[in-house]
Amino acid sequence: MDVGAKIAETPRRMHIARTMPELHAALEQTGPVALVPTMGALHAGHLALLAAARQAGGAVAASIFVNPLQFGAAEDLASYPRDEAGDLAKLAASGCDLAWLPAVGTMYPADAACTVEVAGPAVLWEGALRPGHFAGVATVVAKLFGQLRPHTAYFGEKDWQQVQVLRRLVEDFLLPVRIAPVPTVREPDGLALSSRNRFLSQEQRAVAPRLNANLQRAAAAIVDGDDVDSVLSVAKAALADAGLPVDYLALVDALSLQALSFARPPARLIAAVHCGPVRLLDNLAV
Ligand code: AMP
C-alpha cells in the first residue's frame, strides 16, 4: 500500500471557531494563517480565493460574517443570503483549516468605540452611493486582521474599489499583512459570480452578462484610441437600453480610483448597474 498517497487523501480536520477563546485555541493548532474574509453564501468566486490561499502552502482560514456595519439602512442586510451548513461543507471540501464564524457581539461589543474611516480611494463610486459602506468594510477587516493575525489576506478583484481601500488600510496603519488580489471568477457568459445573483429572475439573468460585454467593448475602443467620454456615453446608453440602468461607468486610475479622461496605465473601467433587484458590479483592466 502506498502510505504516502493514503495520508495525502485524508481530509484535514477543519477547526470551527465561533468565540475568541475557540479562535485562539484553533490558531494554536493551525499556526500562522492566510485569511479569506467572506460574508458566506459561498460560490466559485470565494473558492478561487481559497484555492489561491491554499496554493501558497500554509494554513488557510476563512471568515464568514455578514457585517452589519457595511450595509446601509435601506440595504439588504436582513435578506442577505445565508447558508452556514452549505458554506462549512464547501470550506472543508476546499481544504480550509479554520472557519471563523463570529457573532455580531464578538465583532462589535457594546463598548466598542473605534471605526476606521477611509478617504482617498473610498470616496467616489461605491463610496459616494453607499455612505458608510467602506468604513464598515475597513473596520471589520481591521478587526479580522487583529483577531487572526494573517500573514496574507485574499480579496476578489470583482470588488476592485474595495481592494484599493484595503490596500490603503494596510499601508496607512502599517499592518503586517499582505493583500493578495484574485482575478474575478465569471460565468461562461461573462457575468461575474456574486452571492446576490441568485435573486435574478430568468429574464434578468439573461440580460446581466451585457454588463461585462459592454465593458469589454468599451475597453477595446479606449485601447484603440477612441475618445473616452464618447465611449463611456455610448456604453451607458447601451446598458440603459438593455434594461441595466447605470449607477456609474468610469475609466479610473486603478489605485486612486480618480476618474481619467484618457487611458494611461494603470487604468481600470469600473461599473455598477441595476438588474432588477440586484446591483451588478464589474471592472476590467484597460
Ligand atoms: P463577499 O462574500 O461578497 O463579501 O465576498 C468575499 C470575497 O470574495 C471578496 O474579497 C470578494 O471580492 C470575493 N469575490 C466575490 N465574488 C467574486 C468573484 N466572482 N470572483 C472573485 N472573487 C470574488
pLDDT in tens, 204-233: 999 999 999 999 999 999 999 999 999 999
pLDDT of 10 over the 60 cut: no
Residue nearest to atom 7 of ligand 1 (CA): 38
pLDDT of 281 over the 50 cut: yes
d(CA 2, ligand 1 centre) in Å: 39
Given its phi and psi angles, is residue 61 left (phi above 0), alpha (psi -120 to 50 degrees) or beta? beta
The response to whether residue 193 sits with its C-beta less than 6 Å from ligand 1 reads yes
SS3 134: helix
pLDDT score of 3: 43
| Residue type (1 letter), 245 | P
The closest-lying atom of ligand 1 relative to the alpha carbon of residue 184 is 20
SS3 274: strand
d(CA 21, ligand 1 centre) in Å: 28
pLDDT score of 11: 55
pTM score: 0.96
| Distance separating alpha carbons of residues 86 and 107, to the nearest angstrom | 23
pLDDT band at 84 (very low <50, low <70, confident <90, very high): very high
Enumerate the β-bridge partners of residue 267: 253
Question: 3-state secondary structure string, 14-80?
Answer: CEEECCHHHHHHHHHHHCCEEEEEECCCCCHHHHHHHHHHHHCCCEEEEEECCCHHHCCCCCCCCCC
- 49, 100, 130, best to mutate for ligand 1 pocket (most atoms within 8 Å of CB): 49
Reported as a single tens digit per residue, the pLDDT across 240-262 is: 999 999 999 999 999 999 999 99
The response to whether residue 136 sits with its C-beta less than 6 Å from ligand 1 reads no
pLDDT score of 194: 97
User: Which residue among the candidates 46, 133, 151, 274 is catalytic per the annotation?
Assistant: 46
Is position 15 annotated as part of the catalytic site?
Answer: no
Cα dihedral 44, 75, 252, 43 in deg (nearest 10): 0
Q: Which grid cell is 6?
A: 493514503
The response to whether residue 184 sits with its C-beta less than 6 Å from ligand 1 reads yes
Q: How many residues does the chain have?
A: 286
The response to whether residue 212 sits with its C-beta less than 6 Å from ligand 1 reads no
Q: Which grid cell is 192?
A: 461575474
pLDDT of 106 over the 80 cut: yes
Which tops the pLDDT comparison, 9 or 82?
Answer: 82
The response to whether residue 36 sits with its C-beta less than 6 Å from ligand 1 reads no
| Distance separating alpha carbons of residues 41 and 83, to the nearest angstrom | 6
d(CA 157, ligand 1 centre) in Å: 8
d(CA 158, ligand 1 centre) in Å: 6
pLDDT score of 94: 96
d(CA 154, ligand 1 centre) in Å: 9
- 75, 158, 166, best to mutate for ligand 1 pocket (most atoms within 8 Å of CB): 158
pLDDT of 133 over the 90 cut: yes
Least confident of 7-16, 70-79, 94-103, 164-173: 7-16
Mean pLDDT score, 117-125: 98
pLDDT of 47 over the 70 cut: yes
The response to whether residue 158 sits with its C-beta less than 6 Å from ligand 1 reads yes
The response to whether residue 45 sits with its C-beta less than 6 Å from ligand 1 reads yes
The closest-lying atom of ligand 1 relative to the alpha carbon of residue 39 is 2
pLDDT score of 7: 44
- Mean pLDDT, all residues of the chain: 95
Let me know: does 267 contact 255? Beta carbons within 8 Å. Answer: no
